[in-house]
Amino acid sequence: MTGLPFPSMPEASRADAMEGFVRTHRARFEAALADVLPMPAGLPPALPQAAAAALGVKGHPGSRWRPLLTLAAAQACGGEDSAALPVALAVELTHTASLILDDLPSMDDSPLRRSRAATHLEVGTGGAILLALSLLGRSAELLGSIPDSGGALAAEWGGAFGIGGMCGGQAVDLTGAFADGGSPRRLHRKKTTGLSEFALKGAAIAVGASAETEAGLARFGRDLGWAYQLADDADDWVEDGQFGKGPAGRAPRRQSLRLLIRSLRTLRATPGLDAQGRVLLAALAERTAGATAGTPESEPDHERWGMTA
């Protein structure tokens, strides 16, 4: 990892610090997530089961990189993790809602999610839509109830998933208009970056960080979200056997790494973060975008990171 913008801590200690944070916070987060959606009496019983499966409360939980970044960012701002926990939960609920909707026959028509049948195969398309909306409703409750900053958080969140955010991006995705470049392409990225930006920015708002810290973390989250998406797409192409071995085929991975590096530079330039928190965020970012990107065996690390040692 030589050459990355955080050389001050030995890689091994950095990894240890991150693993410790992930272990502790992930356990707490999973426990909170399991109780986050109170089910009203009278609801068809298939819905609570489908909700638990979609959230990964039972079965495969997913990496939870977004909510972990939210908690780490709150800590890096010198805030309490507990203040950002409702933001972290809302981020994961909103992410899960987007997965349920993405898998619908009218969207990507995908039968599998998190190693299980997609939600609409369990409770029908109508049930899946209602479940996704319920996760969004609960997100609004969680965010709006945060003292002092609840209104600002709810407003930011609404923008993140609305027509200028995830929904607009997915609409461009559906029509394929992103291939034209320009404004459709920029809007298309918001499908992914809307929520990753909110995951970081929301932490700053919840703990009352300065506007400069908020803006820096927002930019960090935006670049990191897109870096993750490009790496993830590249992995899918490999699985599908569509990923070329030539220079053109490697372009998404290289772009992902460029964005990861830019996000780390932004992090270094963001004021109001403590040193330990900054290192933790950097390590989580590398894990998020880097781990997914994978490396052809023959490629040395310094080439993998797109720079010479």
* Binding footprint of a second copy on the chain (CB under 8 A): 37-44, 47, 101, 104-107, 124-127, 129-131, 133-134, 136-165, 167-168, 170-172, 174-175, 177, 182-188
Closer CB to a second copy, 38 or 241, in the complex: 38
- Report, in Å, the least distance between residue 126 CB and a second copy: 4
Closer CB to a second copy, 15 or 152, in the complex: 152
Pull the structure tokens for residue 215.
């803006």
- Report, in Å, the least distance between residue 44 CB and a second copy: 5
Closer CB to a second copy, 168 or 290, in the complex: 168
Would you give the distance in Å from CA 209 to the centre of its chain? 21
- Report, in Å, the least distance between residue 214 CB and a second copy: 16
The CA distance from 206 to 116, in Å, is 34
- Report, in Å, the least distance between residue 98 CB and a second copy: 9
- Report, in Å, the least distance between residue 102 CB and a second copy: 10
3-class DSSP state of 306: coil
Pull the structure tokens for residue 113.
């999610």
Closer CB to a second copy, 84 or 142, in the complex: 142
Closer CB to a second copy, 71 or 97, in the complex: 97
Closer CB to a second copy, 55 or 280, in the complex: 55
Residue type for 202, please?
Answer: G
Stated length of the chain: 309
- Report, in Å, the least distance between residue 89 CB and a second copy: 13
Q: Exposure of 226 by Cβ count < 10 A (0-12 exposed, 13-18 middle, 19+ buried)? A: buried
